[in-house]
Structure 1
Amino acid sequence: MTPFPAVILAGGASRRMGTDKAMLTLEGETLLARAHRRIKTQAHPVLISRHGDDLAGLPDATVIRDAGTGHEGPLAGILAGLRHLAAQGSEATHMVSLAVDTSFFPADLVERLAAASPAPDAIVLARTDDRVHPVFALWPLVLREPLEDWLASGVNRRLMDFVREHQSRIVDFPLIPAEDGAIDPFFNVNTPDDLAAARHIAKRIAQT
């Protein structure tokens, strides 16, 4: 079976952080390098949707530009990935998306999303503890043109609003067990306090 490709969404404006989140460090590596290392064991090829050129030690990574002129949200990065794969003549039916600032995502993310036996045009979304994480999803390549039309309209860039217009399925992921309380594997870093929390989480996970 042809492996599913993946796109790391690293094109956000990082307004609440005040600096490029992708270049922040956690356990000695940037969030971008960490995401790339973790997903490349699950998916191929791995694309990085990003505005900047600094890849911090990933010179062989495939960088694509968001489908837009600025920081236009995750759908722009997802569309960039779908466009790139179509242009390359990819034989894959679906593409996995993930956020650069979510450092503890499951090691079986792609396997579990794919196990939902997606229909050719169904989006498969990750969920933990009744909270959906739509940036972590399996996207049918056949949705490229509908997504292009949606974004070209300029009316609505909200990811979940687009999802509601199409078939979708949910896959539940377990929390990460820890002695002092379970951890959401989709914990994401938006602020300096979140980064401090992520560094603490990394130590807690290492100790379990």
Structure 2
Amino acid sequence: MMLGVVLCGGESKRMGSDKGLLPADGESWAERAASKLSKLNIPVVLSVNAAQLESYGPVFAPSELVVDTVDARGPLKGLLSVHKAHPDKDVLVLACDMLDIDFSTLQVLKQAYETTEGAFDYYVYEKDEFIEPLCAIYPGRTLQSLHTILVSGALPSFSLQRLIPGSNYKSIAIPDDQKFANYNANNPFV
């Protein structure tokens, strides 16, 4: 079974405030991402760090929040923490700052997974050898393997950009660069 995950646990250093709670058309960035994922008819949780729990609590139910518990860095910390909380789920992840991802882009990703389920370790969008790891599918078995390697001390990198290329992954061509923009700096146009 698949679980939608909105990654909100970053430090937002470049933005200067918590990106997931920034407003966009009457809802927060995190709510917008969660809404997009829920349209795929999958349950959705938000990956947050412990410091965010108080500010996300009034917006989301406790059952929707997964707090970082794994000793890793970057998005991998959130992914593995969600896996630890939901070990039987495959994860479709969307970063809260990818505001322009639309339903059809998510649906294409999910369909690629469903038609080849079990065949790949990762399902990612890619363009010109650039892999987008923050709108992707991570099977539970892959996350378990990464966690085992992490715990053993043999994980070569926390970077998903470095981990994915050397694996058996399903690549989907990025149809429109703008859909994959990350808004991670204070931008007056957002």
Scaled by the length of structure 1, the TM-score of the pair is 0.76
Aligned partner (choices 16, 20, 23) of residue 14 of structure 2: 16
Shift of the alpha carbon at 1:173? 3.9
Partner SS for 1:108: helix
1:167 aligned onto 2:168: yes
Q: More relative contact order in 1 or in 2 (CA 8 Å, sep 6+)?
A: 2
* Residues 142-168 of structure 1: per-residue CA shift (max 9 Å, x gap): 113221134332652111222134210
Q: Is the 8 A contact 2:70 2:80 kept in 1?
A: no
- Match runs of 1:147-186 below 5 Å: 147-152=146-151, 153=153, 155-175=156-176, 184-186=178-180
Runs of 4+ in 1 over 4 A off after TM superposition: 128-131
Partner SS for 1:47: strand
Q: Is the 8 A contact 2:8 2:96 kept in 1?
A: yes
> Distance between the aligned counterparts of 1:46 and 1:21, measured in 2?
18
> Distance between the aligned counterparts of 2:106 and 2:133, measured in 1?
14
Aligned counterpart, 2:85: 84
Aligned counterpart, 2:122: 123
Query: 1:14/1:163 Cα in 2 relative to 1: closer, same or farther (>3 Å)?
Result: same
Q: Which has the larger radius of gyration?
A: 1
* Residues 69-92 of structure 1: per-residue CA shift (max 9 Å, x gap): 58x201111112222222xxx4x5
Q: Is the 8 A contact 1:150 1:156 kept in 2?
A: no
CA RMSD between the two structures: 2.4
Shift of the alpha carbon at 1:61? 5.3
For this pair of structures, how many residues does the alignment match? Answer: 181
> Distance between the aligned counterparts of 2:131 and 2:109, measured in 1?
13
Greater share of helix residues, 1 or 2?
Answer: 2
Shift of the alpha carbon at 1:127? 3.2
- Match runs of 1:40-189 below 5 Å: 40-51=38-49, 52-53=52-53, 54-55=55-56, 57-59=59-61, 62-68=64-70, 72-86=73-87, 90=88, 92=89, 94-116=90-112, 117-120=115-118, 121-127=120-126, 131-152=130-151, 153=153, 155-175=156-176, 184-189=178-183
> Distance between the aligned counterparts of 1:150 and 1:164, measured in 2?
17
* Residues 97-124 of structure 1: per-residue CA shift (max 9 Å, x gap): 1101111212023421133233524211
Unaligned 5+ segments in structure 1 are 176-182, 200-208
Unaligned 5+ segments in structure 2 are none
Identity of aligned residues (%): 22
Aligned counterpart, 2:184: 190
The amino acid across from 1:134 in the alignment is P
